[in-house]
Structure 1
Amino acid sequence: MKQKRSRYIIGIDLGTTNSAIAYMDTRKNPTGGADAIRTFSVPQLVAEGEVKEREGLPSFLYLSTGQDLPVGSLDLAWAKERNFAVGEFARIQGAKVPGRLVSSAKSWLCHQGVDRKAPILPWGSDMEELSKCSPVDASALYMGHVRDAWNYLMAGSDPSDRFEEQDVILTVPASFDAVARELTLDAAGKAGITRITLVEEPQAAFYYWITDNEENWSGIVGPGKIILVCDIGGGTTDFTLIRVREGDAAPTPERIAVGEHLLLGGDNMDLALARLVESRILGEKENRLDSLRWLILASLCRNAKEKILSGGDVQQVGINLPGRGKGIVAGTLSDSINMEDIEQTVINGFLPDTRFDETPVRGRGSGICEWGLPFVADPVIPRHLAAFLKKHAAEQMDSSRADGRFPLRPDAIFFNGGVFTPRIIRKRISAMLSNWFSHDTDPAFQPLVLENNSPALAVARGATYYGMVRRGRGVRIVGGCARSYYVKVAENRAALEPGQITAACVIPRGMEEGEEMEIEAPEFKVL
């Protein structure tokens, strides 16, 4: 039986460090449109016993033992006697007691080296009285908080307005594999959310840009144009290419390439700054902070980085690390981070001037061991971007655009994610693209930068718009499944070469949502 359409369409950007929620009331706005999309301000703890609404929900979970905070200080209007908090207060309190803080749960969902359903977080915490949780459970608690907050503020007495009854569009990195996507759906199910559809974050971000330019989007990037969506958040780097092609009635955006999964983002920059400060305050190489003070330092460095890069007048921020234990690193340690540190460590460390022919350094991930995450070995983002463009050049190259040197050139770029909030970082990437693709026939090439007026909310708002697209309204990005999926087929092993396997494709790359195909061969038998 066909499911009844819900009154609301809800878009959730479940981010590594920050989450955002948007929605549309289709009863009041049956034709949709950008003006119909609203931001859901999430009530959450901002201090002990203090609840306020915020535009986003920081993706942090604080696990209390019941002894560390006053009774009732974690209560919410819809939940009493809680032993955990999510959101702003979790981030603040967790910076003070990092052994009880769960962060980067989204990054753990794609970590193939651990059991993602096992209680492993907070990673490295040695607090025996603490009940740990899994990456799936942490993600479920974030979504459960959003569900309960919605029901408290929006549902009223009408059960059909409850969160569980709405069409929910949940975003995931384009590079998430099938297992990570399935675990994300498991987390949603644990939160009681079953009417759910996944959409890739770069696509959702570009949907947001379309909503912002719905009247003239194809006049800005017309048929034949290629758009690079560069999405770098707290934990992941995602590259996607979209080509605008002529449609039957109107131009149609088509997703033509998706990058590999790169565990590289703002978290890595914070850790690099923390390493810099640690080396200055401790001096000798053999002296290192313990894991708890290290996590506190990383949090302080993140706050300092954000203040300096916010575009204001702040050029330097003090770092005061509270004392713990005995010995050389026992007392309070002080240092500061200034704009020069940011330029040397973040800009030159992660976004140095890079040639197009450079390739990423391969090898074992260089992530900080205290975090336990398999960060990429090479932190230089432009090398990964160049590799992405070169990898997809052969299959996408149009002979009319070939120039002999550069096989694929994005005409426009759309930046999304917290890393691109500072203008200096956007300019650095744009300048590199210009250098890579400028040549004798077009020496003044500059990619068109598509404006992102709401980087913190773009993905959630674009996801909401996609919910209307699924109902037949708006501009759809085509392209289908980003990868082909196969099942292994048992054959006569004697006829196979060593290491050879046979497989049948069950979902070809490019297969669109709702499309069906019949597999005629090989013939399968149920065992």
Structure 2
Amino acid sequence: MDATPAPFETELPSRYVVGIDLGTTNSALCYVDTQEKNGPIRVLQVPQLVAPSQIEPRETLPSFHYQPPAGEIPAGGLKLPWDTAEPASCVGVMARDWGAQVSGRTISSAKSWLCHTGIDRTADVLPWHAAEDVEKLSPVAASSRYLAHLRAAWNARFKTEPLEQQDVVLTLPASFDEVARELTVQAAARAGLPRVVLIEEPQAAFYAWINKHAANWEERVTPGQKILVCDVGGGTTDFTLIRVRRGEGDRVQFHRVAVGDHLILGGDNFDLALAQHLEARFTKGGKLQPRQWDILLRLARQLKEEMLADPAPEQRSVSLPTTGSKLIGSSSSLTVTRDEVRQVLVEGFCPHVSLNDKPSARRSGFQEFGLPYANDAAITRYLAAFLTAHRNVALDDVNLPAGQDPARPDVLLFNGGAFLSKLLQQRVVDVVTSWFSTPEKPWQPTVLENDRLELAVARGAAYYGMVRRGQGVRIAASLARTYYIGFESEPPSAICLLPGNAEPGQEVVLDRPLELLVSEPVEFPLYVSSTRLADRPGEVFSVDREQMTPLPPIRTALKTRRRSERGMVSVKLHAMLTEIGTLELWCAEQRGERSWKLQFDVRSTTQTDLTAHQSAAEEEGFVDEQTWAACQQVLENVFGPGSTEKPDSLMKGLTTALEMDRADWPTSLLRRLWEALLALEAGRKKSAVHEARWLNLLGYALRPGYGLAVDDWRVAETWKTVQGKLAHAAASSRTESLILWRRIAGGFSAGQQRAIAEPLLALVRQLHKQSTAGGKQAAAFSVQDSIEVLRLLGSLELLPGTIKLELGTLLVDLLPKKKLEGIRPAMQWTLGRLGARQPMYGPLNTVVAADVAATWLHALLQIETPDAQTVFAVVQLARKTGDRYRDIPELIRDRVLAWLEQQNAAAHILELVRAGGQLDVEEQSRAFGESLPKGLRLGGA
């Protein structure tokens, strides 16, 4: 038992200690009144709407947000006792139940979206398939509304002790990454809770068990045992291992020693699987319309809960409203049996597997919400992989009996809504038993009893709040992940920063000195491992991508007071694990007093304007210095002071110096060319030809604007140097500037892209007005300029949907115009990029609606003389993703496939439309607009 108060407590304690479970499906609040002696943990009854103007208190707040259409709810029908004005939306029971009957107006699973790296998690993207008049929210904003409701409910009851002044412990999945943790804290701050302490849900569940068995918990566990907390909630699956140890005074201690990888796999997936099973029965293999699907998903959730209960009815009838479509044939009702449901859910998610089974790497079929669900639906397969990966963790003080597999857990504790079903609990017990039991040595794990699973996490969080005040039993929670920082070497190597047994507040100083570059942009690669928990700080290892996962790197420039200072500084690294489980890193000068604090570069995963650095570009290597000197001389001869070489000789000179075709130039060389060109920027002023060649090579060297360390800084420098600062008014300079922006568009922020687009959109509007009115085409831009304007606009994936819709609509009108045949390929290419089902670099929330893509497809299919560009634009718009709300309707897909076959499209093209998949190298180049640097692959490809 650890009764030491946390070192962060310096203020006077509040009267109440509060635990909040911000759940995927349900949220709850529990609390302790510290003025009561041995005060119990109580549950806040949360007032909420269950129907218009009907307010009832409930123990949980369903994590659903609903915005009704205008006129649906009578005036005052959404008002709560604490509201001063009529709200436009609601959360809780009514949001869950009413929202399920109206398509595109309900936000659910916001917690899962918080850890979705494929979107801008601070952007307004939910509901994912929103109706046109719905106010979209970000995952952070939606989460904050649930917390704000809990805060308002608390403050209405405890008027003199507002929640924001209490000690609040907020729960999150153990496997949440640093970004998701930070966003959870942001959601709390937006809800008016500026100070919260975070605790991982499996730990909270275990604290709830300790609290329930406060009188005799020491009799129920034995030092040396390994406790497996198996937590399957509405949106995530978490595995945690806790080692039972004997501490001072012969008291039992708990030590969290391992945490599983993040898995978006939970009750939502159960609902999806059952809904897809029923959909196949309703449609005989087809797809329901979105409104019917939303209703079926709600029915599947209810059916799941009913059929996994004990007792459960033998069968139920499921009915869907008809829509006049033939999609559901002659029947809108089905009979579903208990055995059928259990076959889908129990065998589908908890099948009997062997301990050596590994999760499937193939893509999950569950993409209905646009979320990156776990590739494999089998929770038991992930459990097997987790136990074997941590087979030998924390065995330093444990003497196992001969022949016992160290992967074996002794005790199981279930948590999460999925395990409200005793049937699923028993299946997991049976599977774990089968892994470690033999006829000669029968064995089965002890199962700790933990009732009220829907409240356990909130109760445990409140208990932990008391533990932080020195009352109760503390779980010593080590990091359970080892962190590394990479450095330049061959092969790539990394130094262990923090070991897996590090605990919150622990600081590690690495004795190994390092040389750091100051006053210039640098990148520090970061890696994390949940399996290499025995590595020690300061040790150097080759980067093992099987066991070491790359994180968004630290990108920074280590500034000094003397701006002119350049070069290397000898430093030592100091790393510390914060209380909320994030890493802080300092570089301290060895022979001085200066130090630099480094921050995780979480920008690339919380903003659309910065893309995480993930590529194999560095692996291509670097040219030798003698070769580079020859390249430098070629550039000096054209752009340097007193240069005499003509710009037309530039590319030939570089190709000769490198002795390789420019398509084979490594990305590292290209970025070095960019740096040299920027240093020689004054040389572009010599003539319009010089400027055109300088702009052309600058964009070629920096394309696609991301993919290598500190590319975001390079793009920013290019913007400052070129935007609005052309040296010559020649058409060639203007055209090359358009090409430059298109090539590096992926490195721009959303604001920069809009600044580029606005004046160009005005030209397209003018062209549309004149072409559709029968007037002469404007002469402001040549045909070549018009082509580059359109291609640039199509490359700006971060533009708002309204602009994309307007531009696409204009292009659809212009496609049939005979006098615009010269720019038709560019129009088609731009339509393909604007309406692509899978963006090249932008987050998924930038994708235009499927019905818009279908309209544009119709226009493309009407072109009398389609060419290769028409075909590829069609593929971009019709490419299958598996996300019901991004994909075009199946009837249109069938028509597109027939059209593509008439055009003799390649087999891979047909496969992209029929079943989805990745673009090959040639297709990537076509989608991007030209070839990409070696080693780079676009994120959406």
- Once the two structures are superposed, what CA deviation does each residue of 1:437-477 show, in whole Å capped at 9, x if it has no partner? 11366x22011111012211111101100000001111000
Aligned partner letter, 2:244? V
TM-score, normalisation: structure 2: 0.52
SS where residue 475 of structure 2 aligns?
coil
Residues 1:513 and 2:504 aligned together:
yes
Q: Distance in 2 between matches of 1:383 and 1:504?
A: 30
SS where residue 413 of structure 1 aligns?
strand
Q: Distance in 2 between matches of 1:257 and 1:461?
A: 23
Residue 45 (structure 1) aligned to one of 29, 32, 49: 49
SS where residue 104 of structure 2 aligns?
helix
After TM superposition, give the deviation of residue 154 of structure 1 in Å.
Answer: 1.8
Highest relative contact order (Cα 8 Å, sep 6+), 1 or 2? 1
After TM superposition, give the deviation of residue 247 of structure 1 in Å.
Answer: 0.5
After the TM superposition, which residues 344-493 of structure 1 pair with which residues of structure 2 at under 5 Å, given as runs?
344-368=343-367, 370-397=368-395, 400-401=399-400, 404=403, 406-439=405-438, 443-485=441-483
SS where residue 457 of structure 1 aligns?
helix
- Once the two structures are superposed, what CA deviation does each residue of 1:339-381 show, in whole Å capped at 9, x if it has no partner? 111221011111111111211111323323x310111111111
Residue 143 (structure 1) aligned to one of 122, 147, 151: 147
Quick one: structure 1 residues 347 and 313, their matched pair in 2 at CA, closer, same or farther if it must change by over 3 Å? closer
After the TM superposition, which residues 201-350 of structure 1 pair with which residues of structure 2 at under 5 Å, given as runs?
201-249=201-249, 250-283=251-284, 285=285, 287-324=286-323, 326-329=325-328, 333-350=332-349
After TM superposition, give the deviation of residue 251 of structure 1 in Å.
Answer: 0.8
Quick one: structure 1 residues 99 and 4, their matched pair in 2 at CA, closer, same or farther if it must change by over 3 Å? same
Alpha carbons 1:136, 1:186 under 8 Å: kept: yes
Q: Distance in 2 between matches of 1:293 and 1:503?
A: 54
After TM superposition, give the deviation of residue 404 of structure 1 in Å.
Answer: 5.0
Residue 111 (structure 2) aligned to one of 106, 113, 116: 106
SS where residue 9 of structure 1 aligns?
strand
Q: Aligned pair count?
A: 507
Quick one: structure 1 residues 313 and 108, their matched pair in 2 at CA, closer, same or farther if it must change by over 3 Å? closer
Q: Distance in 2 between matches of 1:75 and 1:227?
A: 46
After TM superposition, give the deviation of residue 436 of structure 1 in Å.
Answer: 0.8
After TM superposition, give the deviation of residue 215 of structure 1 in Å.
Answer: 2.1
- Once the two structures are superposed, what CA deviation does each residue of 1:306-341 show, in whole Å capped at 9, x if it has no partner? 122232452322211123364444988211332111
Quick one: structure 1 residues 400 and 131, their matched pair in 2 at CA, closer, same or farther if it must change by over 3 Å? same
Alpha carbons 1:402, 1:408 under 8 Å: kept: no
Residue 158 (structure 2) aligned to one of 154, 157, 161: 154
Aligned partner letter, 2:381? R
Quick one: structure 1 residues 509 and 358, their matched pair in 2 at CA, closer, same or farther if it must change by over 3 Å? closer
Residues 1:2 and 2:6 aligned together:
no
Quick one: structure 1 residues 293 and 237, their matched pair in 2 at CA, closer, same or farther if it must change by over 3 Å? same
Give 5+ residue unaligned stretches, structure 2.
1-8, 512-571, 574-586, 589-594, 598-941
Partner of 1:18: 26
Quick one: structure 1 residues 326 and 343, their matched pair in 2 at CA, closer, same or farther if it must change by over 3 Å? closer
Quick one: structure 1 residues 513 and 68, their matched pair in 2 at CA, closer, same or farther if it must change by over 3 Å? same
Alpha carbons 1:121, 1:135 under 8 Å: kept: yes
Query: What is the root-mean-square deviation of aligned Cα atoms in Å?
Result: 2.1
After TM superposition, give the deviation of residue 403 of structure 1 in Å.
Answer: 5.3
After TM superposition, give the deviation of residue 486 of structure 1 in Å.
Answer: 5.1
Quick one: structure 1 residues 99 and 214, their matched pair in 2 at CA, closer, same or farther if it must change by over 3 Å? same
Alpha carbons 1:321, 1:332 under 8 Å: kept: no
Q: Distance in 1 between matches of 2:365 and 2:292?
A: 20
Partner of 2:743: none
After TM superposition, give the deviation of residue 419 of structure 1 in Å.
Answer: 0.8
Give 5+ residue unaligned stretches, structure 1.
none
Q: Distance in 2 between matches of 1:303 and 1:113?
A: 30
Alpha carbons 1:397, 1:408 under 8 Å: kept: no
SS where residue 295 of structure 1 aligns?
helix
Higher mean Cα deviation, 296-305 or 102-111?
A: 296-305
After TM superposition, give the deviation of residue 59 of structure 1 in Å.
Answer: 0.6
After TM superposition, give the deviation of residue 397 of structure 1 in Å.
Answer: 4.6
After TM superposition, give the deviation of residue 70 of structure 1 in Å.
Answer: 1.8
Alpha carbons 1:244, 1:251 under 8 Å: kept: yes
Residues 1:123 and 2:131 aligned together:
no
Q: Distance in 1 between matches of 2:477 and 2:411?
A: 19
SS where residue 98 of structure 1 aligns?
coil
Q: Distance in 2 between matches of 1:402 and 1:247?
A: 22
Alpha carbons 1:323, 1:330 under 8 Å: kept: no
Alpha carbons 1:66, 1:83 under 8 Å: kept: no
Partner of 1:91: 96
Q: Distance in 2 between matches of 1:254 and 1:375?
A: 30
Quick one: structure 1 residues 253 and 336, their matched pair in 2 at CA, closer, same or farther if it must change by over 3 Å? same
TM-score, normalisation: structure 1: 0.91
Partner of 2:731: none
Q: Distance in 1 between matches of 2:312 and 2:377?
A: 28
Q: Distance in 1 between matches of 2:21 and 2:13?
A: 22
SS where residue 473 of structure 1 aligns?
coil
Partner of 2:163: 163
Q: Distance in 2 between matches of 1:81 and 1:325?
A: 37
Aligned partner letter, 2:216? N
Alpha carbons 1:304, 1:337 under 8 Å: kept: no
Residues 1:497 and 2:490 aligned together:
yes
Aligned partner letter, 1:366? G
Quick one: structure 1 residues 251 and 258, their matched pair in 2 at CA, closer, same or farther if it must change by over 3 Å? same
Q: Distance in 2 between matches of 1:242 and 1:57?
A: 30
Alpha carbons 1:366, 1:376 under 8 Å: kept: no
After TM superposition, give the deviation of residue 526 of structure 1 in Å.
Answer: 4.0
After TM superposition, give the deviation of residue 265 of structure 1 in Å.
Answer: 0.9
Alpha carbons 2:66, 2:99 under 8 Å: kept: yes
Higher mean Cα deviation, 383-392 or 211-220?
A: 211-220
- Once the two structures are superposed, what CA deviation does each residue of 1:375-395 show, in whole Å capped at 9, x if it has no partner? 111111111111000000133
- Once the two structures are superposed, what CA deviation does each residue of 1:246-280 show, in whole Å capped at 9, x if it has no partner? 10121101111111111111111111111111111
- Once the two structures are superposed, what CA deviation does each residue of 1:278-307 show, in whole Å capped at 9, x if it has no partner? 111111x3x311223212211111111212
Give aligned-pair identity as a percent. Answer: 46
Higher mean Cα deviation, 62-71 or 135-144?
A: 62-71
